[in-house]
Amino acid sequence: MAITFEGLTQLGYKDDIDFVLQNDSDGNGTYIASWLSSDAQPTVSAIEAAEVEWQADYDAQDYARSRLTEYPTIQECVHAILDDDLVALQVLRQAVKDKYPK
């Protein structure tokens, strides 16, 4: 592992406000080109640990990302409301929830 955008943002820092990352494509990986925050720059190990935490949080939300691609669209929801067909809409939504449980 190394310095990552995700690790730094997991620690609460913001790109171009607190830090600027750079990768020179020389095989040495990404590094902090500029540290702009008034906080002390975190260690590589702290950034790596935050990256692991971020990845775990991201992986835990896989079901939610999968659901979004299959849920009825906003347009379909509006039509269901206007056509008084909320039961059918709920059936569609529940099928997606059943396919991708929490």
pLDDT tens digits, the chain, 102 residues: what are they?
699 999 999 999 999 999 999 999 999 999 999 999 999 999 999 999 999 999 999 999 999 999 999 999 999 999 999 999 999 999 999 999 999 999
- Given this model, what pLDDT does residue 96 score? 95
Q: Domains of the chain, with CATH numbers?
A: 5-60 (3.30.56), 62-99 (no CATH)
Dist CA 53 CA 21 (whole Å): 20
Check: pTM over 0.85? Answer yes or no: no
- Given this model, what pLDDT does residue 74 score? 94
Q: Which residues are registered as beta bridge partners of 40?
A: none
